Structure 1
């Protein structure tokens, strides 16, 4: 089997070494040259490149690779962007790593069916969490762009994304919507369960108090959240 592992931190490097020891051909990829140097003699090939750069990753032998694993952990934005590129380039089989529930939801909305969780959540789960009123959860993709969860206001209830015009009016994309339901767990206690509704489209209808997952520039998201708050006042 031929593997490409993107992200050579503790998890990615360990996986790359074990797969190589099992007789597989493994290409390890990382933007950090020191990590590439540390593993280059332990796996088939080690490559130093930016996995969020489509021109760079297009040089990888993706068509001849059986499985691509995005193992980036610390930089959630790079993980999402790298995974999106792999989807765009139609790799045979894609597995991605999630270190938070929101990241997992985004990956699921992107159509990634195989998600691995190599560690439990830590106290530093949100290293750069946005301090915005009305946000359920969020993380920054980079300095200027973020993915944000926020509740659907009453004014949007029963309307489609096309009718509301978030892309036109705010330059914001709705990646997916999430419906919260109350269900009993194994011991009979009620808990909130998040049900991701799939990739959103212009015809997706919003319902009050559901959650919409937004992607856009921080200034545009702040403007929407401010207008959303004004709707309620």
Structure 2
């Protein structure tokens, strides 16, 4: 399409009604689908506009509770020009977070306390991330936040089988530690500078395929590979894959495949 000529991207997966689809040229998108897209980091902010998607920048994020992921999350969030509010019933953790992250507003209290959430403006929250070690508390607080007006909610869960169920009751993004670990390890191993690829679901995985003599000189659309090729690492660096991208012996293909 004209859009992809100006801004290369690849749809790597579609989640629909709890199922994950590796797309081909025959697939259609429907309202309610969750679409995963691979794009160069420098093009990521341009993508919504190019696709005609109304995109409102995140201005206010609530983070509920403490776990081994909390400080890394706050470190990432505070790199952006957004307001971050942290709530925890653990007074010592509140003091610790306040000391390490002076730019974060810290509140000691229960994040299941609807009155506290209303006082702090939960209805204006663009995103709520509930990230304690208590799976049930994460789910309930994420659902409560949505009921009180938050636009999006995320909940840390420890059972991958719950993903579909949690999504159906109002949690927009279930966060599974296994996926976080898989994506982090893969980034370290591949040493990519701009391509972010995550393990999308239990039945998908990222693989690397070396181009051999048989594929040398062919275009991706001519290759008959049983994988979805997301990107090509070769003599011209790393580029988002397109159907007419040429392959050369020695190139590495970053692919998505069913387990």
TM-score of the pair, normalised by structure 1: 0.47
TM-score of the pair, normalised by structure 2: 0.42
